[in-house]
A = this chain, B = another copy of it.
Amino acid sequence: MSTISLTLHEIYDLALATMLANGCDDENAKALADIVTRAEQDGSHSHGLFRLPGYVKALRSGKVDGAARPVVTRRTASVIHVDGQRGFAPLAQAAGLPVLASAAAETGVAALSLTNIHHFAALWPETEYLADRGLVGIACTAYMPAVAPAGSTEKLFGTNPISFAWPRPGKKPVCFDMATAAMAMGDVQIAARDGASVPPGTGLDADGNETTDPAEIAKGVLLPFGGYKGSAIAMMVELLAAGLTGDQFSYEAAETDNRDGGPPRGGEMVIALSPAMIAGAGWEAHADAFVNRLSGLEGVRVPGARRHANRSDLGPRQIHKALIETIRSLG
């Protein structure tokens, strides 16, 4: 597939111009261009420019307000709420995360619920924001039904990602950010295109039978990672991202979304904890010894390490030419 080389600045400018040309005001466009550029910088192409057409569709259909002004409310010393006012998630996060971080630094633990947002990005920007400030971060969000709970053949859960970051002052945090589906549907579709098979447990065909044929799974449902246990984690994510925020469960999002191809309305839950206040003095060295032991094991890569290595490369990125052309046609 032919690619075009773009610097990180060019990626940012392309994203910014595209959002500005489609109804985003300056603040929203900048927040989105930032999140898209950081995804490309980290090597997460599926959360980078690839998302722009979906963002544009949601603006053009009127589902999302590109000029939304999120409203931040600090309900108690440790509970913060952001009403995204029908906007994309990044500006709402930018408004809420500093309040969450200072609340957690003061009280030791704090919770941020974001509602009335449209989330279409990775979660590590939220959890690493907290880790960069010496805090443990946990974040999760739901989406639209794609995953059948273990034992079932009917989709109910979203791919329901969860991210966790552990702070390492002066170093990159340990951070995972993963779907609770066994595999992203995009990867199943790529495997189908390439004629590859997928591991058992990835999904079911349209009749609810187990299969390793990705073309059949694409017509059926995904399964949670890790069987019954992963299904419990996926359920927890729904309950935290929708039950605890008060915004839509995945199945509700499917019922109300206008199917424009952009992100549905939903909620996000972010929790921050202070090891300095909970574990007390010496927590950095104590946890570092564990992380060093983990990273020292042959065959083990500490979660986040590959993204962080990509991040330190400030050179140009190779972007699919067809994607660039699609985006330029939206400008």
Contacts and interface: CB of A to CB of B under 8 A. Distances in A.
A324 interface: no
Interface string A219-239: 000000111011011011011
A246 B286 contact: yes
Interface stretch (A27-35, A39-47, A293-301, A315-323): A293-301
Contacts of A164: 232, 236, 239
A197 to B, nearest CB: 16
Nearest to A283: B246
A79 B149 CA distance: 35
Nearest to A290: B249
Contact of A174 (B111, B152, B235): B235
A98 B294 CA distance: 36
Interface string A258-275: 000000000000010111
Interface string A47-68: 0000000000000000000000
A34 to B, nearest CB: 26
Interface residues of A, number: 69
A145 B49 CA distance: 43
A123 B250 CA distance: 28
B235 A233 contact: no
Contacts of A279: 113, 243-246
A171 interface: no
A190 interface: no
A46 B44 CA distance: 43
A246 B280 contact: yes
Interface stretch (A70-78, A86-94, A209-217): A70-78
A22 to B, nearest CB: 33
Contact of A78 (B107, B174, B180, B249): B107
B226 A230 contact: yes
A185 interface: no
A176 interface: yes
Contacts of A186: none
A294 B260 CA distance: 27
Given A152-B297, A287-B243, A232 B108 contact: no
5 contacts: A77-B77, A78-B110, A151-B301, A244-B273, A244-B275
Closest 3 CB pairs of A and B: A226-B226, A79-B108, A246-B279
Given A243-B286, A271-B271, 14 more contacts: A75-B108, A75-B278, A77-B78, A79-B108, A79-B278, A151-B300, A166-B243, A225-B229, A226-B227, A226-B229, A243-B287, A243-B290, A246-B283, A249-B290
Interface of A: 75-79, 81, 106-111, 113, 136, 148-154, 156, 164, 166, 174, 176, 178, 180, 225-227, 229-230, 232-233, 235-236, 238-240, 242-246, 249, 251, 271, 273-275, 277-280, 282-283, 286-287, 289-290, 293-294, 297-301, 303
